[in-house]
A and B are shown apart, each in its own frame.
Chain A
Amino acid sequence: MVETVAFPPARPIGPLDQRASHARARPAVRMALVPPGVRLSFRARDEAAIARAAEGFGVALPREACRFSSGGGRAALWLGPDEWMLLASGDPDTLFATLEGALTDLPHSLVDVSHRSVAFTVEGPEAAAVLNAGCPLDLSLQAFPVGMCTRTVLAKSEIVLRRTVETRFVVDAWRSFAAYVWQFLEEARREFL
């Protein structure tokens, strides 16, 4: 008689799960994981392709440098004059197919990079100060207002940084660098209570 054991469906383990669940509470700067989501890298120079992608995605693709637009749980990040990062939740394949369908015959590049990076928030009155421990950008509200996003560096790693509210940033770090980036900021925020 063979007993069958039903395992629960496998749940992917993120590179920061362990660290995030043990993170100490510090009201000056809190760090928390952003749930896994869909990330699509979209590149195009063709105006028609850019318009069609925005239509299919449901969020305008910003044309101003280093800005993101969002709505309905989705966001489009300007990363370069012909490059955007599209963020969404749900099934990546459906969104991918929708966009590819809308872009048929137009020169473009669309790549699913959902698993390339992990995101977490850095939030609190000292968030900018903690990020500035490793990021040389001017993070004052004048130079880096709400709605701004950019690829930049944090210590020895590249990140995508965006400011969603005055005291909240989202850091998107490549998977294999994520532990380093998290730990770097974790140490930087030890300065604060």
Chain B
Amino acid sequence: MLLITCPYCGPRPELEFRYAGEAHIARPEDPSGVEADPWGEFLYNRTNARGPYAERWRHFHGCGRFFNAIRDTTTDFFLATYKVGEPRPDVPARAVASASTGGAGER
């Protein structure tokens, strides 16, 4: 089973967790002042990156906290997890390199 490291509880089985979409998307301070297009952008458009991707996760059946994770979408490998409010960490270059050669070829 895939282990995900909760920044509070440590490594735990994946079925204790829930996925919660892309991380670092700030809701506009004044939604009613936002034009339709940027609002639609905020609501619906996601990077959907291939490779390392910053995501929100929640330790649902554990401490209950939301946190952020960098997950490689081509390998499902978690490169880093960090608390909400902390800056996105630099993922180790080697992990990114091996991920991009591992699964990122044209298919």
Q: Which residues of A contact B (CB under 8 A)?
A: 65-66, 79-81, 83, 136-137, 150-153, 158
Contacts and interface: CB of A to CB of B under 8 A. Distances in A.
Interface residues of chain B: helix, strand, loop or mixed (majority): loop
A167 to B, nearest CB: 23
B63 A151 contact: yes
A150 B61 CA distance: 9
A152 B63 contact: no
B21 interface: no
B44 to A, nearest CB: 31
A80 B1 contact: no
Contact of A137 (B8, B13, B64): B13
Contacts of A81: 8, 63, 65
A83 B63 contact: yes
25 contacts: A65-B8, A65-B9, A65-B63, A66-B9, A66-B10, A79-B64, A80-B8, A80-B63, A80-B64, A80-B65, A81-B8, A81-B63, A83-B63, A83-B64, A136-B15, A137-B12, A137-B13, A150-B62, A151-B61, A151-B62, A151-B63, A152-B61, A152-B62, A153-B13, A153-B15
A153 B16 contact: yes
Interface in B53-72: 61-65
Contacts of B61: 151-153, 158
Interface residues of B, number: 13
Contacts of B9: 65-66, 150
Contacts of B15: 136, 153
B65 A152 contact: no
Nearest to B6: A65
Contacts of B16: 152-153
Contacts of A66: 9-10
A64 to B, nearest CB: 10
A152 B59 CA distance: 10
A79 B6 CA distance: 13
A25 to B, nearest CB: 32
Nearest to B64: A80
Contacts of B8: 65, 80-81
Interface in B1-40: 1, 8-10, 12-13, 15-16
